[in-house]
Amino acid sequence: MIMKKTFLVLAVLMLAVPVMAGITVTAKHVGSGVVEVNYVMTGSDDVNIPRAFALDVNLSAANGTAAPKDIAVVPTILDPNFYVSPGTFSYVGGVTNWGTGYAGSDVNGFTIEIGSLWATNDTNHPKQPTSFGKLFSFTVDKTCRITLKENAQRGGVVMESTAVTFPPGYVKLVDANVTSDVNCLYVGKVFLATVGSPLLVVNSTMMGKWNYLGRPNCWCCLSQKRGNGVYAGGSALRPDNSDLNAIRVATAWMKQYNQAGYVACSDVDLSGRLDNTDLNRVRQATNWMVSVGAGSGCW
C-alpha cells in the first residue's frame, strides 16, 4: 500500500511540472519564390512566448542548381506585434546595409532583427505576441536552399521571461527548399543602378508585359538595365553604338511592346516602349563602352 501511494504522489508531481517543449521557427516556400518564416509555441507554459527574433537567413544552391543571387527589395514584416527593428536589415555576401535594406546583385543571405515592445498601458501595443504567427516573407530568384540560424550576437530568439534558463534545443529552426516555379523576374526585384542612374524596381505592370512577350530572359539581366541589349559580335559584353542603333532605327523607334518592330532586349527600362529613356541608359557615361556582361541566362 505504501509503494502504491508513493507512485501516486510521483505521478501528481510529474503532472504539476510544466512541459517546456520549446518554440519552432519554420521557413516555408509558399509559391513563386516567396518564402514565409513563421513561428509556433510547442509547449503550454506562459514563459514560452517570444519577445524578439534575430535570425540569419542564408541561401545556398540546392539539387545541383546554381547559387541564388537576388533577394527582393526588403523582407516584409508580416506580424504587427514585432514592429521594432533595432538594426533593420543586414545583407551578407558582399553588401551590408543597415537602415535601408535593399539587396545587391550578388546577395546570398541577410540578417533580420525584429522585436515586440508591448505594455498594458500602451494604446497601440497593449498585448504580448501570441503563441504562433507569421514573422516575415522575402522573395528569391531561383531554386535554392533556405537555412535559418540564430544570430547570437544580436540575441537569437528571445523569450518573454528572462528569468528562465531554457535548455539546449528549446529553439528549433526548420529550413526549406525553394523549387520549380521561381521566375527570374518577379515583382519587387531590384536592379542596382550605376552612378547617375536610379534603381529599377520591377512592378506588376512590367510583369504583365514580360508575360505577354513570352518571358524574354534578357529582362532578367542586370547588364540589360545598364544598356546592353545586343548580344552579338564585339558588342556582346558592353553598351555601344549597336545598342543605340537597335533602339533608334526607324522600324523600332517608339514602338510599343505589342507592336511589330519592338525589340524586347533593347527596352532597358522595361517600360514597354523604345524611346529616349532607353537611349539615355545605354549612353550614360558610367556604362558606355564598359563591360557589363551579357547573354540570355545572365543575372
List of domains in the chain: 22-178 (2.60.40), 203-283 (no CATH)
62-112 tens-digit pLDDT:
655 555 555 544 577 888 888 877 654 444 433 334 333 333 334 567 788
Residue 262 banded pLDDT, cuts 50, 70, 90: very high
Task: Give this prediction's pTM.
Answer: 0.60
Measured distance CA(198)–CA(145) in Å, rounded: 31
What value does the mean pLDDT take over residues 119-140? 88
170-187 tens-digit pLDDT:
999 999 988 756 677 877
Measured distance CA(175)–CA(144) in Å, rounded: 11
Measured distance CA(162)–CA(40) in Å, rounded: 19
Nearest CA among 80, 92, 159, 165 for reference residue 124: 80
177-229 tens-digit pLDDT:
887 566 778 777 788 766 667 788 888 899 889 989 988 888 988 888 888 88
Helix (H, G, I), strand (E, B) or coil at 227: coil
Which range is most confident: 15-19, 120-124, 188-192, 193-197? 120-124
Helix (H, G, I), strand (E, B) or coil at 245: helix
Within 8 A by CB and 6+ apart from 293, the residues are 221, 222, 223, 228, 237
Q: How many CA atoms lie within 13 A of 10 on its CB side?
A: 6
| Mean pLDDT score across all residues of the chain | 77
